[in-house]
Amino acid sequence: MDGALIQYTGVDICQQEVCVLEGVNLELQGGEFVYLIGKVGTGKTSLLKTLYGELDIAAGEAQVLGYDLQRIRQKHIPALRRRLGIVFQDFQLLTDRSVYANLEFVLKATGWTNRTEIAERIEEVLRLVGMENKGYKLPNELSGGEQQRIVIARAVLNSPDIILADEPTGNLDVETGRSITCLLHDISRSGALVVMTTHNLQLINEFPGRVFRCEEHRLKEETEAWLPAEEK
């Protein structure tokens, strides 16, 4: 896709009248893998929330997938979100139904009606995340890493242009975290923009991408070599 999928110019982001990020300039394209790093409370999650319309921007110009976030109407936010895939740290799967039913629920909620097409798409995304034999299981019958794979499958159901992943490896062991990051990295190679917040800086050495640091109310791109040890 030509042109920037995300374009922020001089954007201020506030939480409860406290500005967490000021003067954010950001231009991201399809196919990029982007890390957001920084200590707790520096604005990483707040930045993600503005991208999917959960948090208003306080000032500046902000475009996501052609939507003007300063002027977007509430009724248009669901249409924006349908073009985004969102991966949370705490899974947020529906615990009372199977993996297959979780994915079917999302497809039906976003306008899919043909049962054969729904079944084919679910099979396709489960195969993509290496979970093709787990559709009948309930979320609590899966490991944390398996649940996160299902969350990623759910995020890519509608072939989104952008995937936002907020600490997707935060509750996982090191090896499982690596496999989840590898999966997201592969998805970016297929043309989607992936934006991922993380505290695990070792992942950045293994799965290279653009790195932006939230620090002292600013967002700054890291362009020089740096060591993971600099941030605990």
Walk along the chain (232 residues) and give the pLDDT tens digit of each residue.
458 999 999 999 998 888 999 999 999 999 999 999 999 989 999 999 999 999 999 999 999 999 999 999 999 998 898 899 999 877 789 999 999 999 999 999 988 999 999 999 999 999 999 999 999 999 999 999 999 999 999 999 999 999 999 999 888 889 999 999 999 999 999 999 999 999 998 999 999 999 999 999 999 999 865 555 444 3
The pTM of the full predicted model, rounded to 2 decimals, is 0.90
| Residues 73 and 53: beta-carbon distance below 8 Å | no
Please report, for residues 66, 142, 162, 163, 222, the alpha-carbon distance to residue 34 in angstroms, rounded to integers and kept in the order given: 20, 28, 11, 10, 11
| Residues 144 and 171: beta-carbon distance below 8 Å | yes
**In sequence order, what are the beta bridge partners of 84?**
162
Neighbours of 189 (CB within 10 A): 10
Q: Which residue's structure tokens are 């899919």?
A: 112
In Å, how far from its chain's centre is CA 212?
Answer: 15
Given this model, what pLDDT does residue 2 score? 54
Please report, for residues 47, 68, 170, 173, 228, the alpha-carbon distance to residue 198 in angstroms, rounded to integers and kept in the order given: 13, 27, 7, 14, 12
Coil, strand, or helix at residue 211? strand
Torsion angle of alpha carbons 181, 94, 77, 8, nearest 10°? -20
